[in-house]
Structure 1
Amino acid sequence: MHMGKGSWKVGRANVANVVLSNEVDNSGFKIGVILDYKSRIGKEEITAMNMAIQDFYEYANNKPVLHIRDSGQDPVRITFSETKSGCYLMINDMIYILKNANLNAAIDLINETKVGVILGFRMCDDVAFVAELGRRANVPVLSFADTTSLGSSKRWPFLIQASPDQYKQMRAVASIIGTWEWRKVNIIYEDVSSARSGIFPHLIDALQEMGSHVEHFLPLPSLNLSLTEELENLKGEQCRVFIVHTSLPMANNLFKEAKKVGLMEKDSVWIITNGVTDHVDFANGSVISTMQGIIGVRTYFPQSTAKFIKFKSRFQHNFHQEYPKEVNTEPGIFALQAYDAVWMVALAMNKNVKATGETIDPEKSVSPLYGKGLLEEILSSRYVGLTGEFRFIEGALIPSRIFRVVNVIGKSYRELGYWSEGQGFSKSLTGATNISMKILGQVLWPGGPWSVPRGWAVPTSENPLTIGVPYNPISDRFFERFIYVGYGPGGKPSVTGYSIDVFSAVLGQMAYNIPYNFVPYNDTYDSLVEQVYSKKFDAAVGDIAIVAHRHKHVEFSHPWSDSGIQMMLFRKPIKSNRAWLFLEPFSKVMWSLTVAITIYNGVLVSLMERKNRPEFTDSASNNIGAAIWSAFATLFSLQGERLHTNFSRMTMVVWLFVAIVIIQSYTANLASILTIPHIPQKDITVEYLMTSNAKVGCDGRSFVVNYLQILGFKKENIVKYYSKSKYPPALRKGEISAAFLEVPYIRLLMAKYCKDFYVVGETFKVGGFGFVFPKGSPMVPDITQAVLEVQESGKLRDLEIALLKSSNCSDSDSDSNPYSLGFNSFWGLFLISFGTTTIAFVLHLLQCPKSSKGSVHASLEDDDTNIQAAIELVEDVPNNNPNILLAHECHEIVPYVAAIIEDDEHNHGDINTQVLHTVI
């Protein structure tokens, strides 16, 4: 038999078809139905469809005929070599050998019964081949399965999804997760294509919006391990939040095994989707007993409308008559969907016949024009049925936007409330809404407790956390105060330090105990973070900075240290020409002008006061010396010689003001030079370091290397150090101009070397130090809370003070402040003073031998004359009236006379002494 490309041919052998119709089909409205007779869903669908046919007949006086076939067992596909008989299907030159009741029934309905449309198919695997049959035969196929993943609207235009798309349900599940802030979830699903590629992408996106992510996917049934082994593996993980997206029979088996392995106890969370919850109404007691404490998302349909109440009453009556052994006669969502689908198809058939005017001959095949017209009528229909609005968009029924939230308790379940898209949770559809599920009230969780489960297993002594710590074997002892790794005789690591003290304080603040083991890791900090990301470590503790490129892959706790990067410089002492620093406050021109104006003012004032100054003699050298002395004495003392003329007083008033300004300016400028580090501004800016190609240092294992390149430093100008004790000698020797370190390191260095180094410039903000955990770790919120409590309690401050106290600034290599005032600052002045005094004394000694003889006689004669004048003056006092001038003259002469007497006491003896006493 030749089959051309694109053609299809159906052969049939040993096909058993069951026709559930006692009527002779004389109608052109033939509706094919394929369902499972034995299942509760199939029973509800048969009853509801028959009710829809009867109601439509009363509505339109036209009664379509249902041709119902049994879907039988689950589909099994076998290869052509495995069978010699059965059905085969040619699709795109590929032969598929079929041994499947659904496909056999579909072929019979299309080829033999000539139905205009086919309904049914709850299993997605059945839909693909039947949809291909419908496309070839121009027969619309309405599927109750979730066929989103099949790309039905483009690949199979005659395939229509007659059940609402459930991807909105995933947002409801994610909202439950977000309410209780569970960061990790496990997804257990039935291994069908729709669940894998249709529903879960929506769930993953919704979970990410809530800050959660999927830890594990567990397909059922698994071909690798048994269900018990798979659950044991999940038990070994930390996550205890499970989302179950399976059928009820599969879920029942799952919950039984989960209870055996201990996954249905305290701190576990189980959330089921409508694939299970929509069947709970007719589940038996043994099934319900395995589901205690489970939260479920259930398909919503209005139950208070008059239409539903009437339908429910009739359905219960009909269902009980047809299936008297069924205890529960309540209609479920499947009955309502079947009723609405049949009513809508019948309505579309009726409209299509009227629109096309085509008369259908039951003995002939349905024409392609009829099939395409019927498809368009179905897709364009708008109908408000028992499930709500019945309308199609892109070949699928509009998605549900409202879901019911239930909690399995006792022998049944309890309605908690509703979830609505865009509104959140509410106790009733007309009540207040909230994005948090807490508005729904108390929930009974697995294991019996009323408190909210943690959602993850606390590490035990049998399964402690593996925590990586940074280890640098060439690190210096000084900075090992942050974290130090030592090894005992048995090779067991011992980890101590400031970081470990903070971590211990944080764990002590938590409400539960966390066993852990430290594992030293000798590599870069980025590499250590990657080990946490790849889950080789459960966490990482140490002086690990929080930066953006790390935070993309892992989660950090709240920072437990101050954040930022600072620049540290060496305090260079001023050594060159230090002895002559006293000259630096004034420039050379200023010094010259000061000396010149001082001498000029002194000479002129001396000339104006010459007649009233006894120190001015006929000797020119003495007069010049007296003038200069008077000038400089005025400069350094505000109380100068007594002035007798108004002109000299006027000159000195101005000069004294100038002298005050000069002296105060000199003092202030000299003080700043001697006490403040004299460092040019360009040496302490980042911009200058970059433009001058200066070498800068940083930790070669940290993120600072890349950060400096981002700032603009050339790679060749960045010197990497792997021991932080290298910075002080490197800065002193000039190997680097500046060191860039994180704030905690800077503080520790400054605590030891505060006299040698200083911090300048801005603080470049980074995240500070934090503890590292995998993305979505459930421990992060608790750890962060504990860090905040440790900070607020003052414990963290106490640990930091203890760390800095261990490094005393007195231990600095510098014995004294290089800018303190000592001998080195003034030895130049001392040298000038000593030299001047020495030279003057030597000159005096050289001059004395030449004039000693003549000067003695001259001095004696001068002394006699002065004494006689003094005696006469004293003798005249009683005979004259005292006045101020006489007193002043006596005051001036007496010291002079006393000096002469002391100098030549042996020549004047008693007479001079008497005169002196008399005068005094």
Structure 2
Amino acid sequence: MVPIMYALLMLVVFVLHGVINGERPAVVNIGAVLTYDSAIGRVAKAAIEAAVQDVNANENVLNGTRLNLIMEDSSCSAFIGAVAALKVLNKEVITVIGPQSSTIAHILSYLAGGFHIPLISFAATDPSLSSLQYPYFIRMTQSDSYQMAAMANLIDFYEWKQVIAVFIDDDYGRNGIYALDDELTNKRLKISYKIALPVGASRNKILELLQNSKAIGPRVYVVHASPDSGLEIFHAAQDLQMMAADFVWLATDWLSATLDTFELNKTHSLEYLQGVVGFRQYIPESQQKKAFESTWNRLHTRVSSSKLNTYGFYAYDIVWAVAHAINNFLDNSGNITFSLSNQIGDNRGHMRTDLIKTFDSGELLLQNLLSQNFSGSSGPILFGTNRSLISGNYEIINIYGSDINTIGYWTNIVGLSFSFPDTSHTNRQGNFTASKVLHKITWPGGMKMTPRGWIPSTRERPLRIGVPRRVSYLQFVNILTDNHTVQGYCIDVFRMALKLLPYEVPYQFVPFGDGHITPKYWSLVNMVANNEIDALVGDISIVTNRTKLVDFTQPYMSTGLVIVVPTRSTKSSAWVFLRPFTVGMWCVTGAFFFIIGIVIWILEHRVNSDFRGSPKRQCLTMFLFSFSTLFHSEQEETLSTLGRFVMMVWFFLLMVVTSSYTASLTSFLTVQQLQSPINGIDSLIATNDPIGYQEGSFSWSYMVNSLNIPRSRLISLRTPDDYEEALLRGPKNGGVVAIVDELPYIEIFLATKNGFGIVGQPFTRSGWGFAFRRNSPLAIDISRAILKLAENGDLQQIHKKWFCLHNCNIHRADNSKPNQLHLNSFWGLFMLCGIVTIAALLIFLLKAIRQFIRYKKAKSDASSITSCTKTIYCFFDFIDEKEEAVKKIFKQQQCSSQPEAS
């Protein structure tokens, strides 16, 4: 007994002496938890074993210390994987490699964190394996967050808006699709449908789920599965004839791992993968890669059923990263010690979890692992702040025939590119646009043209188009009694737009309404939003609340709310001809007729016999002459220069005044005036009278919610006859003061009913469009078709067909006062005419005075005329004589004898 105790004491002293002096341990245990019987596990197991052999054979790596690999099989089960991890941890390992399953990685990360054992995985790509939640988890592969960003970039590059996600319903599948959904949302794209396959789903189950997806419009499928079961999805798709034209199949890197691992008969096995596009983690060419491939070829007989895939490179490099980290750890501390955890008690079971020890220096080893920076067979080994491998490089492959072709690359810096970008340009963001080009892809069905990625409907499931059954204004939508024939303006626009689409759209109209009450359009829009129908066609107004539920096409008709009131015509007035002029205008015009007549008589009386005669005749001539000029029917001719000049200005004034009078009288005889005081929306709101609106129209909600009109004032009307009756009765007799409705309806109403008109301008601006489900690509294509119809004139022709049967003019009423002509508009002309008239009269008087003075001077040598009366008489007699007679009198100097003779 004493020798034994002495030996144990010496052993403890020897060990403590070695630890204190920093001697390296001869063996360091590392663990691995893999799924042996899996596509990735078989390759990874051989790669890890080969790496351990290579590390142990290289004395420069660990300086004499050897790695002892302790490996357990998880059997692709989270429970068995947890048990396997406990078995490994019970062997005092200082790090654990694996697992390859993301689901098992979640559980093992908790165990590794609890015992301070770094867990480093080469295949757990689940983006939710966060370093914040699992501080001892390291990912030595590319996170699916990179791959899903690449997938979203590819989808956006080909302008597909919606995709269908097919995934395994576990942590790996769900979290990967969540990451894809986030990336697509950032690009305003979406996953429209998700097919969650149970783990180990049978072929029949896959067929059932895929068959259900065929009834959905998108044809772009993103498959995120595992290498062991993913190919079943494509087998089922081929059985359902979904590997044909118009379909797009995109696969994550599981497909490339599968194709790289198994010895496939490409002529037969790739037949159901024709046109598939997938991703492969990019492994750059290097000396380390070639060396490992050479080693693998020597080991190939041990794993004859598998070839080397990308995960094999990462598994091989993990061992080297662990070896370098252990070497640094031993150089810095040299202590590998374990302690029992006080938090784990004796569970009295076969497996003593209470004896599993915590690695005392786990944090230090973890930091050594994260600080690794070297070139391995998979490329640069460098970890980021999220404790994942910094890479994000992918090849994009396309399967066609018996070949797997590389069509491009994706990096997290440059994005899509024709060839792998030079490392010297990886930090140049400006290269993104220029390099965003891929090789030509052969799609399913042998198509070279990029598939549209979406179909609106099939003949087996035509597009369900909701149509309201109107009870009035059937020019827009009319469903005949057979319930199958649908016609009208809106229907013609929709059909013409479908003809312009580059693809066929099978559809069927689904009528809504009982024929007695026009259905509420709000409820029909909700049916589209709830996927009860695919679209809604009709006179559907595009309003804010509706756009929150559905997508509308480009408006095919502009509209807005207008006000209709009764009108009356001014043609019924007997004195309408007096209205063009104001009273002042009539008075001034009449005064000028008298003034012009008097002035012309003064100017013409001396030289024109037409203005002479008896006093009665001269008075009639004086006043009738100026009035006859209005019709250019005057009988007298003006002879004097001054008279003609005055008449020229007078005729110009008459031309302007008479033409203005004619135009004003015409408007008075044709314009319609209102019978009510309503002249706009403000005056309508100010009254307390009832207001009519069309049944089912959004005008009710607009007046109640936006204009705050009491609901008690609003009266529902159905037909144009109801409109007419309510307006004619008026608010005092149980009718309405006005009707508020959309302009297209009012156009038809005014074309068929007389005595009504629109006041003001439309007080809302909107349009009619076709309603589709949110994010429907068909809404965009129909919008483009509507724009083409508007550009080539077809939209106007359809409008004329339905709305110009009677009258295309819109009657607008005017509630303003008559537009009479005021004196202010013509005072300039009257002033000009007055100045010319007065000037002519003054010139005439001055000329007469001058001639009188000359006459008086000539008679100064003759007998003087002493009587003032004789002088005045001689002056007026002188005015009546002609020029020759006056000259003759001056020569003979007989002026004094003539008055005596007369």
1:320 aligns with 2:300: yes
1:403 aligns with 2:394: yes
1:348 aligns with 2:325: yes
Q: Please give the secondary structure, in 2, of the residue aligned with 1:413.
A: strand
Deviation string for 1:378-427 (max 9, x for gaps)? 33444443334433344431464332111223445222221334644333
Matches within 5 A, 1:328-347: 328=307, 331-347=308-324
1:463 aligns with 2:443: no
1:186 aligns with 2:164: yes
Q: Kindly state the Cα deviation for residue 327 of structure 1 after the two structures are TM-superposed.
A: 6.4
The 3 A distance-change label for structure 1 pair 289 and 646 is: closer
Deviation string for 1:762-811 (max 9, x for gaps)? 685434333x333344544554555555555554443332213433479x
Q: Kindly state the Cα deviation for residue 273 of structure 1 after the two structures are TM-superposed.
A: 0.8
Residue in 1 that maps onto 2:117: 139
Alpha-carbon distance in 1 for matches of 2:286, 2:205:
47
The 3 A distance-change label for structure 1 pair 646 and 369 is: same
Residue in 2 that maps onto 1:108: 87
1:496 aligns with 2:487: yes
Residue in 2 that maps onto 1:541: 537
Q: Kindly state the Cα deviation for residue 256 of structure 1 after the two structures are TM-superposed.
A: 2.3
Aligned amino acid, residue 244 of structure 1:
V
Q: Kindly state the Cα deviation for residue 120 of structure 1 after the two structures are TM-superposed.
A: 0.5
Q: Please give the secondary structure, in 2, of the residue aligned with 1:169.
A: helix
Q: Please give the secondary structure, in 1, of the residue aligned with 2:696.
A: coil
Residue in 2 that maps onto 1:169: 147
Matches within 5 A, 1:10-21: none
Alpha-carbon distance in 2 for matches of 1:658, 1:813:
35
Alpha-carbon distance in 2 for matches of 1:255, 1:136:
42
The 3 A distance-change label for structure 1 pair 627 and 198 is: same
Q: Kindly state the Cα deviation for residue 468 of structure 1 after the two structures are TM-superposed.
A: 1.4
Q: Kindly state the Cα deviation for residue 480 of structure 1 after the two structures are TM-superposed.
A: 0.8
Of 65-74 and 696-705, deviating more is 696-705
Q: Kindly state the Cα deviation for residue 470 of structure 1 after the two structures are TM-superposed.
A: 0.8
Q: Please give the secondary structure, in 1, of the residue aligned with 2:532.
A: coil
Matches within 5 A, 1:73-152: 73-75=75-77, 77=79, 100=80, 102-111=81-90, 113-146=91-124, 148=126, 150=128, 152=130
Task: Please point out which of 466, 481, 484 is paired with 1:487.
Answer: 481
Alpha-carbon distance in 2 for matches of 1:614, 1:229:
120
1:301 aligns with 2:278: no
Q: Kindly state the Cα deviation for residue 739 of structure 1 after the two structures are TM-superposed.
A: 5.1
Alpha-carbon distance in 2 for matches of 1:647, 1:481:
70
Does the aligned pair in 2 maintain the 1:149–1:193 contact within 8 Å? no
Alpha-carbon distance in 1 for matches of 2:645, 2:244:
105
Q: Please give the secondary structure, in 1, of the residue aligned with 2:249.
A: strand
1:69 aligns with 2:71: yes
Residue in 2 that maps onto 1:530: 526
Does the aligned pair in 2 maintain the 1:121–1:145 contact within 8 Å? yes
Q: Please give the secondary structure, in 1, of the residue aligned with 2:419.
A: coil
Of 584-593 and 192-201, deviating more is 584-593
Does the aligned pair in 2 maintain the 1:352–1:370 contact within 8 Å? no
Residue in 2 that maps onto 1:766: 766
Residue in 1 that maps onto 2:757: 757
Residue in 2 that maps onto 1:203: 181
1:260 aligns with 2:239: yes
Q: Please give the secondary structure, in 2, of the residue aligned with 1:154.
A: coil
The 3 A distance-change label for structure 1 pair 548 and 419 is: farther
1:242 aligns with 2:221: yes
Alpha-carbon distance in 2 for matches of 1:630, 1:758:
48
The 3 A distance-change label for structure 1 pair 649 and 779 is: closer
The 3 A distance-change label for structure 1 pair 37 and 597 is: closer
Of 153-162 and 433-442, deviating more is 433-442
Q: Kindly state the Cα deviation for residue 46 of structure 1 after the two structures are TM-superposed.
A: 3.6
Deviation string for 1:811-845 (max 9, x for gaps)? x999xx99xxxxxxxxxxxxxxxxxxxxxxxxxxx
Deviation string for 1:610-637 (max 9, x for gaps)? 99743326xxxx9987876567567776
Q: Please give the secondary structure, in 2, of the residue aligned with 1:500.
A: helix
Does the aligned pair in 2 maintain the 1:183–1:211 contact within 8 Å? yes
Q: Kindly state the Cα deviation for residue 219 of structure 1 after the two structures are TM-superposed.
A: 2.6
Q: Kindly state the Cα deviation for residue 252 of structure 1 after the two structures are TM-superposed.
A: 2.1
The 3 A distance-change label for structure 1 pair 127 and 268 is: same
Deviation string for 1:401-459 (max 9, x for gaps)? 33211122344522222133464433311499887999434433334444544545674
Percent identity, aligned pairs only? 27
Residue in 1 that maps onto 2:60: 58
The 3 A distance-change label for structure 1 pair 694 and 62 is: farther
Aligned amino acid, residue 333 of structure 1:
T
Does the aligned pair in 2 maintain the 1:348–1:377 contact within 8 Å? yes
Residue in 1 that maps onto 2:839: none
Alpha-carbon distance in 1 for matches of 2:371, 2:552:
53
Task: Please point out which of 548, 553, 560 is paired with 2:549.
Answer: 553
Alpha-carbon distance in 2 for matches of 1:289, 1:604:
113
The 3 A distance-change label for structure 1 pair 348 and 800 is: same
Alpha-carbon distance in 2 for matches of 1:808, 1:741:
19
Residue in 1 that maps onto 2:613: 614
Does the aligned pair in 2 maintain the 1:484–1:496 contact within 8 Å? yes
Alpha-carbon distance in 2 for matches of 1:457, 1:342:
50
1:227 aligns with 2:224: no
Q: Structure 2: which 5+ runs fail to align?
A: 1-23, 341-355, 423-429, 514-518, 816-880, 885-902
Alpha-carbon distance in 2 for matches of 1:524, 1:131:
58
Of 687-696 and 545-554, deviating more is 687-696
TM-score, length-normalised on structure 2? 0.72
The 3 A distance-change label for structure 1 pair 342 and 746 is: farther
Q: Please give the secondary structure, in 1, of the residue aligned with 2:399.
A: strand
Alpha-carbon distance in 1 for matches of 2:402, 2:571:
95
Alpha-carbon distance in 2 for matches of 1:509, 1:601:
73
Residue in 1 that maps onto 2:192: 214
Q: Please give the secondary structure, in 2, of the residue aligned with 1:186.
A: strand
Q: Structure 1: which 5+ runs fail to align?
A: 1-24, 78-99, 819-882, 887-920
Q: Kindly state the Cα deviation for residue 572 of structure 1 after the two structures are TM-superposed.
A: 2.5
Q: Please give the secondary structure, in 1, of the residue aligned with 2:132.
A: helix
Alpha-carbon distance in 2 for matches of 1:487, 1:664:
58
Task: Please point out which of 136, 141, 145 is paired with 1:158.
Answer: 136
Q: Please give the secondary structure, in 1, of the residue aligned with 2:194.
A: strand
Alpha-carbon distance in 2 for matches of 1:58, 1:680:
108
Residue in 1 that maps onto 2:836: none
Does the aligned pair in 1 maintain the 2:550–2:773 contact within 8 Å? yes
Alpha-carbon distance in 2 for matches of 1:388, 1:736:
83
Q: Kindly state the Cα deviation for residue 759 of structure 1 after the two structures are TM-superposed.
A: 7.5
Q: Kindly state the Cα deviation for residue 234 of structure 1 after the two structures are TM-superposed.
A: 2.7
Number of equivalences:
754
Deviation string for 1:90-121 (max 9, x for gaps)? xxxxxxxxxx2x3233223323x222211111
Matches within 5 A, 1:766-805: 766-770=766-770, 772-777=771-776, 779-780=778-779, 783-784=782-783, 786-787=785-786, 794-805=793-804
TM-score, length-normalised on structure 1? 0.70
Alpha-carbon distance in 2 for matches of 1:740, 1:602:
58
1:290 aligns with 2:292: no
Aligned CA-pair RMSD:
4.7
Task: Please point out which of 569, 572, 580 is paired with 1:585.
Answer: 580
Does the aligned pair in 1 maintain the 2:570–2:670 contact within 8 Å? no
Of 275-284 and 174-183, deviating more is 174-183
